[in-house]
Amino acid sequence: MNAATAPAAVIEISQLTTRFGSHVVHDDLDLVVRRGEIFALVGGSGSGKSTLLREMILLQQPAAGSLRVLGVDYTGIAEAAAHALRQRWGVMFQSGGLFGSLTVRENVGLPLREHTALADRLIDEIADWKLALSGLESTVGGQYPAELSGGMMKRAALARALVLDPELLFLDEPTAGLDPTGAAEVDQLIGELRRQFDLSIVIITHDLDLLWQVTDRVAVLGDGKVQGLGPMAELAELAAPAVQAYFTGPRGRAAEKGSATWKAK
Ligand code: ADP
Ligand code: MG
């Protein structure tokens, strides 16, 4: 592909090194996420997925290397630029991160209260719209997080991540802890969001169904580097042990089979 037809990058990571004391988590790591794609980060526990996510959303600084997100270089970034950038992405943390003392509607509207001067009534309306978009009924807005099921909690957290109309969405384990039906619904929702909006999505996940059915490309982290990168069907052909761990065994094969029928819909 030449420069004119290559999709623009939303995230460019180059020669990134992360250390905690003498423990090297990322070792000269390079990674590019393209505009408009659903990209997944996978890897064993402790391979540095969450740390990489924190670095991508400006919560943590690497020891060396460069990060560029939505065209903004993080090297020496000023607070004003960081603040502006935080409004251009949405993050759904693994725990959901909803405040227990606020209603679901208030939780979803919170980023708008922080970042805009919109009237309360308008913020509530936008929050309700994002809740509907995430597949929740309007009555859920008045409930408290403790009253929600796991699946509803994930949807509410997604609604909050979407409330500022982000260009880039980060999802940390969006299907973890859900039953198969709930997980399949979230898979479908992620696919729909990308179709409806001009979104790029980065997902951290272990969920093989999600990987096969929704993602465009997947990066496998291991030993501080990207061990494999590509669409699932291509990765499945790679022999590297860190990559094969995701494809061998009955669960991997079942997820691969399921993908053929689902994607055709
Ligand atoms: P993953 O999300 O892939 O399971 P993490 O990014 O959470 O992995 O962690 C990668 C490695 O970095 C682990 O060995 C973890 O113990 C270590 N680590 C993460 N955060 C810290 C921290 N704040 N201080 C020390 N070590 C950390
Ligand atoms: Mg993690």
What count of other Cβ atoms lies within 10 Å of the Cβ of residue 135?
18
Ligand 1 binding pocket (C-beta < 6 A) is 20, 25, 43, 45-51
Position with higher pLDDT, 177 vs 108: 108
**Segment 204-232 mean pLDDT:** 92
Above 80 in pLDDT, residue 239? no
Express each pLDDT in 90-146 by its tens digit.
999 877 789 999 999 999 999 999 989 999 999 999 999 999 999 999 899 999 999
Confidence tier at 197 by pLDDT (50, 70, 90) = confident
Q: Measure 50 CA to ligand 2 centroid, in angstroms.
A: 4
CA distance 134 to 56: 24
Above 80 in pLDDT, residue 34? yes
Minimum-distance ligand 1 atom for the alpha carbon of 44: 3
What count of other Cβ atoms lies within 10 Å of the Cβ of residue 264?
6
**Segment 151-158 mean pLDDT:** 92
Above 60 in pLDDT, residue 260? no
**Segment 183-205 mean pLDDT:** 90
At 46, is the secondary structure helix, strand, or coil? coil
Minimum-distance ligand 1 atom for the alpha carbon of 48: 6
Q: How far, CA to CA in Å, does 248 sit from each of 16, 92, 115, 229?
A: 30, 29, 46, 17
Closest CA to ligand 1's atom 21: 20
- DSSP, res 167: S
Q: What is the mean pLDDT of the chain?
A: 89
At 243, is the secondary structure helix, strand, or coil? helix
Closest CA to ligand 1's atom 22: 20
Which one, of 57, 72, 61, 66, lies nearest residue 29 by Cα?
66
Residue from 16, 17, 20 to probe ligand 1 pocket by mutation (most atoms less than 8 Å from CB)? 20
For the ranges 94-103, 146-155, 162-171, 246-255, the lowest mean pLDDT is seen at: 246-255
Q: Measure 173 CA to ligand 2 centroid, in angstroms.
A: 9
Q: Which pLDDT does position 261 carry in this prediction?
A: 47
The secondary structure element, H or E, covering residue 37 is: none
Phi and psi based region of residue 97 (left: phi greater than 0; alpha: psi -120 to 50; beta: remaining): left
Above 80 in pLDDT, residue 215? yes
Q: For residue 181, what are the contacts with CB-CB under 8 A and spacing of at least 6? A: none
**Segment 199-220 mean pLDDT:** 92
Above 60 in pLDDT, residue 194? yes
Q: How far, CA to CA in Å, does 5 sit from each of 2, 36, 195, 241?
A: 6, 14, 21, 34
Which amino acid, residue 226?
V
**Would you state the structure tokens that stand for residue 224, as one six-digit string?**
């501080």
Strand order in the sheet with 72-73: 23-34, 9-20, 64-69, 72-73
Above 60 in pLDDT, residue 51? yes
Question: In this structure, are residues 170 and 92 in contact, taking their beta carbons and an 8 Å threshold?
Answer: yes
Which amino acid, residue 242?
A
At 61, is the secondary structure helix, strand, or coil? coil
Residue from 25, 50, 59 to probe ligand 1 pocket by mutation (most atoms less than 8 Å from CB)? 25
Closest CA to ligand 1's atom 25: 20
Residue from 51, 202, 226 to probe ligand 1 pocket by mutation (most atoms less than 8 Å from CB)? 51
**Segment 198-209 mean pLDDT:** 91
Question: In this structure, are residues 13 and 29 in contact, taking their beta carbons and an 8 Å threshold?
Answer: yes
CA distance 141 to 178: 21
